[in-house]
Amino acid sequence: MRRLLIGLASIVAVAGGLAACGAPAEPQTPSEQQSRCSTARPLPVGDSERTIVTGGRERSYVLHVPPGYRPTERTPLVLMFHGLGGDPQTVLESTEMGTMADQHNAILAVPLGRGKPSQWRFRSPISNPRSDVAFVRQLVKQLKKDACVDSSRTYAAGFSNGSALTLALACDASTQFAAYAAVSGPYYEPWCGKAPAASIIYFHGTADTTVPYRGANTVIGHLPPVNDIMAKWAKHDRCPSAGTRTRATSAVRHFSWVGCEDGTSVDIFAVVGGVHGWPGGGPMSPGRTSRTKNSPVDATALIWKFFARHPAGGQ
């Protein structure tokens, strides 16, 4: 996968230490205190399978910890949601999100959906304790207990069914994410209007027959046209018409809205002739082949670049 020379902004280092040999450390400033956790939260580097009980059920996820993780330094966190029939390990291998997390010193959590095939019930509200939105909320709380997490740089990303869940999380907003990345699964409902503005980057192939770009009834329910849904998100974010930008080539159409409420922005990458898959990545479900590996778009790299530009509160 091609790599863009981009970086997730690193956590500010804390001066601390001794002013001279044997001298006491100087008091930390409020910003220095915020960049550290009060107690060390060590974690094993690499991938580990973990479980959490939520809604009366045991749920599993893979936690990927970068080599540069420090137990007292607040570290960015990314949650990644697979598509229908997918699983955490396939997602890690096909998107190389773990490799990018290592490069940019971020923690990556990849949970497993429910049932066979594994799936996310993204339409069930958080008021239902067994909903996946409620599960994500509990998972984030647990991760913040187990790891030294930077709450201002906590992000959600997903593919297909997981993409719809990602956007449902933006609608619910009870779990605070700084930005959202969604691939091949549009979602917006009238109840989303009560949510705060959300920075969103979205990818979709124009020749997708599983979740058609122009909208259709799919295996996860009716999904409207991509352009309609993303225009609703731009309106939701109160994006000014003067901030609309369009760039088109024979391979990619890029639409973006900038200068939106609270520093948010909305980006769409429509891959001309692209099929259902992760642009620039491998197969997203076990036993499948990939027709997106040679895509002109590298979704993983662009997502990390987008996340870097959007800490909580806008920038």
Query: What is the pLDDT at residue 125?
Result: 86
Task: Tell me the per-residue pLDDT of 158-199, one tens digit each, with 9 for 90 and over.
Answer: 999 999 999 999 999 999 999 999 999 999 999 999 999 999
**Residue in the structure block whose two tokens are 């220095």:** 32
Q: Which residue has the higher pLDDT, 17 or 107?
A: 107
Confidence bin at 16 (pLDDT 50/70/90): very low
Proportion of the chain above pLDDT 70, given as a percent: 89
For the chain, the straight-line distance linking the first and the last C-alpha, in angstroms and rounded, comes to 28
Q: Which residue has the higher pLDDT, 27 or 289?
A: 289
The residue-averaged pLDDT of 35-57 equals 95
C-alpha dihedral sign at 146, 149, 154, 157: negative
- Cα–Cα distance measured from residue 30 to residue 28, given in angstroms and rounded to the nearest whole number: 7
CA atoms within 13 A on the CB side of 257: 23
Confidence bin at 313 (pLDDT 50/70/90): low
Regarding pTM above 0.85, the answer is yes
Query: What is the pLDDT at residue 285?
Result: 87
Q: Is the pLDDT of residue 8 over 80?
A: no
Q: Is the pLDDT of residue 105 over 80?
A: yes
- Cα–Cα distance measured from residue 292 to residue 217, given in angstroms and rounded to the nearest whole number: 23
The residue-averaged pLDDT of 10-15 equals 30
DSSP H or E stretch at residue 257:
strand 252-257
Query: What is the pLDDT at residue 26?
Result: 46
Q: Is the pLDDT of residue 14 over 70?
A: no
Q: Are 294 and 274 in contact (CB under 8 A)?
A: no
Query: What is the pLDDT at residue 35?
Result: 82
Task: Tell me the per-residue pLDDT of 130-155, one tens digit each, with 9 for 90 and over.
Answer: 899 999 999 999 999 999 999 999 99
Task: Tell me the per-residue pLDDT of 107-133, one tens digit each, with 9 for 90 and over.
Answer: 999 999 999 999 999 998 888 888 999
- Cα–Cα distance measured from residue 105 to residue 210, given in angstroms and rounded to the nearest whole number: 34
